[in-house]
Structure 1
Amino acid sequence: MQKRKLGTSELEVSPLGLGCMGMSEFYGTGNDEESIQTIQYALDQGVTFLDTADMYGVGHNEKLIGRAIKDRRDDVVLATKFGNVRGEDGSFQGVNGHPDYVKQSCEDSLKRLGIDHIDLYYQHRVDPEVPIEETVGAMAELVKEGKVRYLGLSEASPKTIKKAHQEHTITALQTEYSLWSRDVEEEILPLCRELGIGFVPYSPLGRGFLTGQIKTFDDLEEDDFRRYNPRFQGENFQKNIDLVKKIEAMAEEKGCEPSQLALAWLLARGDDIVPIPGTKRRKYVDSNLGALKVNVSKQELEQIDKIAPRGAFAGERYPAEQMKSLNQ
């Protein structure tokens, strides 16, 4: 499998990573043994880039990955995140970017993962109460100590990205990007390219919507957080379903799955882009990797742009309260 470099760094990863969040929380019931087998299967297929965060399952996801890669650390470029604070009961307690919290979070993540260094350490959400220079300064100290190799940000504004990058090289920005959500094309992606920062799209399949497998609201389990996402509700849901049907029709004509077309479109946006589709089942690893064999012509890219131009999908990306933490 060919590799892609993140930004101007020497950090090489598979062109598609594996998002592990759903194995522990948010997307219905998980199964630890199946999840571990899925991670190991992905590694066997050539995936080298795993993505997690300390908040996923309140530490559960990092422990799960630790178990999965126990004897395979050298096969993995491991990314995790800090900043979203959760109580032991799972309650959300805001964002913290204070230097002492940064360092303690890193120590805790290393322990849960059972490793001695993190390859890519992201600030999950920007703390508006703490100057980004202070947060990134603490992250930079972790690099000097050998506990972290490279630094990243998630859902940061252009202003924050510039300030952070002046403090210490930012290797990657992780922000939602897909046919379903193209806001980053306006300012964020051009800035990353200007500064030599790699781009890691999360939810590259529109939280599963672009797979074509979600037909009705009732397809979502009772504890699935998408039930509270504006894009999955009411008129928005139907409008978005209608758009996905057009993507499905184009994929059928091309002889691939809708999800593969959506990922191939994203991969074609540039070699500096490394999507991290999430799954907790092995069969979807194969499906996602199939996108690497799907070539999208210039004419097809133009056709997709007509079907799903920027802003085409209805509804905000998150509920109102969570939207406040984006683009900080």
Structure 2
Amino acid sequence: MQKRQLGASDLYVSELSLGCMSLGTEEHKAKDIIHTALDYGVNYLDTADLYSFGENEKIVGKATEGIRDQVIIGSKVGNNFDKEKGTWSWDPSPAHIKQGLKDSLHRTGLDYIDLYQLHGGTIDDPIDEVIDTFEALKKEGLIREYGISSIRPNVLRQFLQKSNIVSVMMQYNLLDRRPEEFLPLLRENDVSVLARGPLAKGMLSSKAEQAVASKGKDGFLSYDYNDLVDISEKWKDMTSGEENAKSFQYILHNETVASCVFGASSTEQVKENINAFKKATPLTDADYKQMQSLTKALTYANHR
């Protein structure tokens, strides 16, 4: 699988990567999913301290024992959680970020994390202190690079102006085109997008009809249920059985995107996504424009 540079860093991530949130907590099954993804060419695994209250990081760490040099591991920090109570609260303080990294390294059994991301962010955060903390952790060699996972335009602009982030994780797919407003600005600043939710809860997948029926009943962003039904039918006709692959290709058509981060709860889903992507016919500019004609060029309404 081809790889793309993450920002201006020396990290090169596979065009499809594995979002680990959906792995579950059954260790053997989760490790099989990770190993299948790696065998099929994925080299980036995305986790977070909050996923399953730390258990997800433990699984990722165990699954990559002995092959650390073959994988790029990203994790996230910013949510102060209580595993026993099942609660969490936002805490972007330098003290929490430092302790969060220490805890993540302990859970994963790693000496460093390749990409450490702020798991959210508001304009009221001590942004300068957050940046200074990430820079210090990078200088210590505990992280290689850092980024943010945020869809707040006002927060994004602050980090672009003040920091050396290499990536922004954002939900991005044909139904949620809001990141497209910021792709030129991100590219200008040598910052890449890690696109989560590339299949829009399955509504852009080969099982779009079922996904819309189960997950689109209350709509999606500014689309109501009838809109989603109509789009899914046209999407099926347009993609000729390559729905998953074309969803990925649409996102990756813009080279500011480094990787589509898809979730999987079975090895079959991993194989389906990657095989479809590898076998798909190339996407042309005409195909891209035709796809865009199906949906709206939405923009972020809040936090501007």
Same fold (TM over 0.5): yes
Alignment of structure 1 residues 30-179 onto 2, 5 Å = 31-89=26-84, 91-179=86-174
More strand per residue: 1 or 2? 2
Is the Cα contact below 8 Å between 1:263 and 1:288 reproduced in 2?
no
- The percent of aligned pairs where both chains have the same amino acid is 30
Residue deviations 1:250-276 (CA, integer Å, cap 9, x gap): 122xxx431111111111122643111
Change (3 A) 1:286 1:85: same
Is the Cα contact below 8 Å between 1:251 and 1:257 reproduced in 2?
yes
Q: CA deviation at 1:292?
A: 4.0
- Equivalent position of 1:310 in the other structure: 297
Is the Cα contact below 8 Å between 2:251 and 2:257 reproduced in 1?
no
1:242 aligns with 2:268: no
| Aligned match for 2:193, one of 194, 199, 207 | 199
Runs of 5+ consecutive residues of structure 2 not aligned to the other structure: none
Q: Distance in 2 between matches of 1:180 and 1:49?
A: 24
- Equivalent position of 2:12 in the other structure: 12
Residue deviations 1:155-181 (CA, integer Å, cap 9, x gap): 154443343345431110101111020
Change (3 A) 1:79 1:162: same
| Aligned match for 1:269, one of 234, 254, 258 | 254
SS at match of 1:94: strand
Question: TM-score by structure 1 length?
Answer: 0.83
Return the letter of the residue paired with 1:51.
D
SS at match of 1:151: strand
Is the Cα contact below 8 Å between 1:121 and 1:152 reproduced in 2?
yes
Question: TM-score by structure 2 length?
Answer: 0.89
CA-based RMSD of the aligned residues comes to: 2.7
Is the Cα contact below 8 Å between 2:79 and 2:90 reproduced in 1?
yes
Q: Distance in 2 between matches of 1:311 and 1:128?
A: 22
Alignment of structure 1 residues 286-305 onto 2, 5 Å = 286-289=271-274, 290-294=276-280, 295-305=282-292
Change (3 A) 1:160 1:311: closer
Residue deviations 1:19-64 (CA, integer Å, cap 9, x gap): 111113xxxxx64322210101111121100101111111111111
- Equivalent position of 2:2 in the other structure: 2
Q: Distance in 2 between matches of 1:50 and 1:327?
A: 29
**Residue correspondences, number:** 301
Residue deviations 1:90-148 (CA, integer Å, cap 9, x gap): 64433111000000110111111110100000001104432211111111111111110
Is the Cα contact below 8 Å between 1:23 and 1:280 reproduced in 2?
yes
Is the Cα contact below 8 Å between 2:201 and 2:211 reproduced in 1?
no
SS at match of 2:195: strand
Is the Cα contact below 8 Å between 2:31 and 2:60 reproduced in 1?
yes
Q: CA deviation at 1:218?
A: 10
SS at match of 1:115: coil
Is the Cα contact below 8 Å between 1:97 and 1:127 reproduced in 2?
no
Q: Distance in 1 between matches of 2:81 and 2:213?
A: 28
Q: CA deviation at 1:185?
A: 1.1
Residue deviations 1:148-206 (CA, integer Å, cap 9, x gap): 000101115444334334543111010111102001112x2222111110111110111
Return the letter of the residue paired with 1:247.
W
Q: Distance in 2 between matches of 1:166 and 1:210?
A: 34
Is the Cα contact below 8 Å between 2:195 and 2:257 reproduced in 1?
no
Return the letter of the residue paired with 2:175.
W
